[in-house]
Chains A and B, each alone.
Chain A
């Protein structure tokens, strides 16, 4: 028998757009929303939208949003029934989850054991294999010697991939094409793994050439219901960081969706999962798919699933946390239409994606049919230097992929963010790319195209006079203000604006 208790107040242990997203779900359900904030975020959007806000420390994450014990203490002090961790920070931290449980505070998410089991690369590989979920062919055990590595590689067949057992982010990874390359790659991968993770254990996997990243959203309750909500295509990544996600995947048929969904549910069931989770797969060109990892939390890109299913995943998380069964609409969900999300980071695509913090001087989000903004900032706010640079997400929906792409183009035309640089021009460049338009994606594609200079970022045509005119007018006005000269008023507007229209009829205005 699952205990049911209604939530009256929930503390959001996060910041930025995801804190806003959770606060919205809380308000939809009539639950009081509290947030913690660092000194850098006193004026942030979540603090302005929350019912209650509590200072948690100075700007650096380790002194604020990563202080698990302090956050649990705040939750107890203010009488919160539960904590929503969002993503990042403490979201997949089994120690924090256990601390919440010990304090009698519900952590909105899966059970502690599921977080712990999926937290280890090698351990989760073993579990998945035992549950009959396909993993990339290769070993689960660390290779002690070069001879062992040679034997394992011969069995798998070249090319193979050497990977650090404790790895992540491409560190300690080596592609080995032939037997001759193995010895030196083995030594290099081990020393890199030791330097990066303090653990030199490496293992071998079959090398997959240009796979896609396709993940399955699962949702479960404490009554044993566990469902797949279909896939998200997340192949477009820059340095292992997702930048564009869509649903459904252009590569997934209804039959493949069913098989991947079943595998994902089996994976989640193997660790006794409930709440929202994501099982990530690599999808090879031949249609074979392999377990990569499971994210035991709400994912950044959850809105594309919401857009094609019409479901509210955060609301469902809250209901499940109250001990309620999954709403009926979650069973048998099939994607309707097509959704695309682009991540707006405060990064400058014209300067190698260098961070671009600062004051947002102008902010206008696109609106209208089929457009959703999950945004964590507002005009006039300062984007701090201390955190992940995600400002917000722009999500569009269309009846099919072509119409979703058209809406994305329209929405990007409407979007204005000034004062800082964002990744918006990258998406305009992608919209002009034939492979992206055709849905021909793989996980290396974006890095490859950026390195080859194949994506043309929009730029004002050289020789165009608009910037000169605008700057000259601004300078003139400044000089007048400094000199204290009163501006000239007066109404002879009609004469010259009329002649202006005649100029327009003759064609292009700017030389």
Chain B
């Protein structure tokens, strides 16, 4: 299976193949033979040429995974090649849009803008409170607020949509 995998700025073609009881995973030009043991629903031990890596791979919505090893974590996006090509052809890259979700459970203390409003990059839109701390959730770029999905006083879960920007 051929996949497009993105971590931060880096994007690679990754091929995953069965290899006996294990796997061969090719990342660009590099090839790894991997023995993978599932230790729990999201908990894996990967043996790669004798090096042991205990990783936790938590699904974070459609094709997105939080991969955490002993040296820290990274958000990784995975898509198959066909979907990736379709998205590029549809001009997904050209139209900049932002779907902002709550990265933690909490309460909405304030909504600072209205639907349809033109907002600047870095403008605070929603104030979330959790563990006695308030956090302003801001825009990544300028645009128009297409949707505000929460109201003041509402409780949200991690991953819930807060607002959409176009």
Contact = CB atoms under 8 A, between A and B. Distances in A.
B10 A471 contact: no
A465 B67 CA distance: 11
B21 A490 contact: yes
Nearest to B9: A462
A473 B69 contact: no
A357 B131 contact: yes
A466 B30 contact: no
B72 A497 contact: no
Contact of B21 (A413, A463, A492, A510): A492
A125 B59 CA distance: 55
A358 B49 CA distance: 35
Interface stretch (A112-120, A273-281, A292-300, A498-506): A498-506
B81 to A, nearest CB: 12
B72 A458 contact: yes
Given A362-B56, A466-B55, A509-B32, A354 B104 contact: yes
Nearest to A421: B73
A361 B50 CA distance: 26
B46 interface: yes
Interface stretch (A228-236, A253-261, A475-483): A475-483
B133 A354 contact: yes
A468 interface: yes
Contacts of B30: 465, 511
Is the contact region of chain B dominated by helix, strand, or loop, or is it mixed?
strand
Contacts of B107: 385
Contact of A468 (B27, B58, B69): B27
Contacts of B132: 355, 387-388
A229 to B, nearest CB: 32
A136 B85 CA distance: 69
Given A465-B27, A490-B20, A509-B32, A361 B42 contact: yes
A319 to B, nearest CB: 35
A476 B16 contact: yes
A418 B65 contact: no
A469 B20 contact: no
Given A389-B131, A465-B27, A471 B57 contact: yes
A169 interface: no
Contacts of B27: 465, 468-469, 472, 511
B92 interface: no
Given A472-B16, A495-B20, A509-B32, A504 B42 contact: no
Nearest to B48: A509
Contacts of A358: 104-105, 158
12 contacts: A354-B133, A358-B158, A361-B56, A385-B129, A419-B56, A462-B10, A467-B67, A470-B67, A471-B57, A472-B5, A496-B33, A504-B51
Interface of A: 346-347, 351, 354-358, 361-362, 385-389, 413, 416, 418-419, 425, 457-463, 465-476, 478-479, 488-493, 495-497, 499-504, 509-511
The 4 closest A-B pairs by CB, nearest first: A492-B20, A504-B50, A355-B131, A503-B49
